[in-house]
Structure 1
Amino acid sequence: MFREVRRNKKQILSEAESRGILNKATSGVLCVLGDEAYPYGVPMSYRLEGNRLYFHCMPVGHKVDAMKRHDKVSFTVIETDQIVPEEYTTYFRSVIAFGKVTFIEEPDEKRRALRILAEKYSAEFLEGAEKEIEDKLSAVCIFCLEIEHLSGKEAIEFAEAR
């Protein structure tokens, strides 16, 4: 159902390497099927836990409307993007996750998702996170992407150096 990554087999990252990039990176681009079937990509913060990527956003807007109409999405993270002008290339390392979105409505599940996001982005300020979570709980949309397919790829120069 999902296409194989093109190019040299040495450039394909293992699932563990791809998950490592997802754990390390802090943002990526969520792509949805937007209005009039135009692709819509939006930068997002996230947290990987198990086989799910968790996100938070406002409860209304283009991406939320799009995901409610069509639950299949992709999420792209670029870990490295080093331009090498003298070689007319870019040294890169990136991951794409494909899957379906589920909206989390139950308050305890929303709290848990917000806590794991706070652990990633505000680990030094967790004391204040609980108050922030309670203050914003009813006004925030939480959704997760259940990963169905994960592919990672890197520049041949990185692959050959390993």
Structure 2
Amino acid sequence: MPDTVSPPEAYPVTERNKVRRLHERGRYDHASVHAILDAAMICHIAYIIDGQPYCTPTAFWREGEHLYWHGSSASRMLRKQKAGIPVCLTVTHLDSLVLARCGFNHSVDYRSAMCFGEAYFVEDPAEKARALDVMINRFYPDRAATLRPSTGQELKATTVIGMRIEQASGKIRSKGVADEEEDYALPIYAARFPVRQVIGAAEPCPRMPAGVATPDGLAGFAEGRRLDEILLESQHRLYGDE
């Protein structure tokens, strides 16, 4: 049970998700946590199998209060999660490198989110097929309807896992250089180096038939654009402000 009362639009703060170190950077409101999640394509999922901890990177997406990911039906991680196991899903964005005037104050600016819940299989075939189409459209707007349908064997070979977010917390640092007051006058170089993931120029498949145009739904993938901004636009397009 939560040990504090949280606003309706925030995740309950418990011993499991409370930000302890530099607690002022913590975020529990849905808007902040969801923005961090929705700006990412890759997460890391931590879980324990037979007493051994594992952490697996995978693509994921959010629908309301649920997170989804997929993988091979032969995956040990996914087979173990079928029975329902506690998992911790995390996302991190590295926003800048921070060089200060002493080693102790060197840092990074970042946005991170940590979500807790119990994994479950999406068993219904129709719901599973829908989820896989949603995954494609989540990252590449309107693309699923233009693709060759997956075969029964392809669907059988793919597992979809869901998790309702029970507790979550975000953590954000965006302050740049933060030195001791007496150090600012020292003749030592200090700076913030922004870090961005940006889209490069498209490299069309050399075996694509002549005359195939770039779909309208991919217009946002313009060279030089930030990936996190594209992903947020796609999330909003698909789900609105939820």
With the shorter chain as reference, the TM-score category is 0.7 to 0.9
Aligned to 2:43: 28
- Per the TM alignment, residue 130 of structure 1 is displaced from its structure 2 partner at its CA by 5.7
Aligned to 1:88: 106
- Per the TM alignment, residue 134 of structure 1 is displaced from its structure 2 partner at its CA by 5.5
Aligned to 1:138: 156
Opposite residue 103 of structure 1, the aligned amino acid is F
Separation in 1 of the partners of 2:34 and 2:56? 21
Aligned to 1:19: 34
Separation in 1 of the partners of 2:95 and 2:163? 25
Count, aligned residues: 158
Equivalent in 144, 159, 175 of residue 157 of structure 1: 175
The farther-off stretch of 120-129 and 46-55 is: 120-129
1:118 maps to 2:132: no
Q: List aligned pairs for 1:70-85, cutoff 5 A.
A: 71-85=85-99
Aligned to 2:52: 38
Which SS does the other structure have where 2:81 is aligned? Answer: helix
Aligned to 1:127: 145
Higher helix share: 1
Separation in 1 of the partners of 2:41 and 2:32? 16
- Per the TM alignment, residue 123 of structure 1 is displaced from its structure 2 partner at its CA by 2.2
Opposite residue 98 of structure 1, the aligned amino acid is F
Note the residue ranges of structure 1 that are not aligned, 5 or more in a row: none
Separation in 2 of the partners of 1:132 and 1:118? 12
Seen in structure 2, the aligned counterparts of structure 1 residues 130 and 147 have a Cα distance that, compared at 3 Å, is farther
- Per the TM alignment, residue 126 of structure 1 is displaced from its structure 2 partner at its CA by 2.4
Identity of aligned residues (%): 25
- Per the TM alignment, residue 80 of structure 1 is displaced from its structure 2 partner at its CA by 2.8
Separation in 2 of the partners of 1:59 and 1:95? 27
Structure having the higher Rg: 2
* Aligned partners of 1:33 and 1:70 also within 8 Å: no
Q: TM-score, normalised by structure 2?
A: 0.59
Aligned to 1:10: 24
Note the residue ranges of structure 2 that are not aligned, 5 or more in a row: 1-13, 177-242
Separation in 2 of the partners of 1:138 and 1:4? 39
Which SS does the other structure have where 1:105 is aligned? Answer: coil
Opposite residue 165 of structure 2, the aligned amino acid is I
Aligned to 2:67: 53
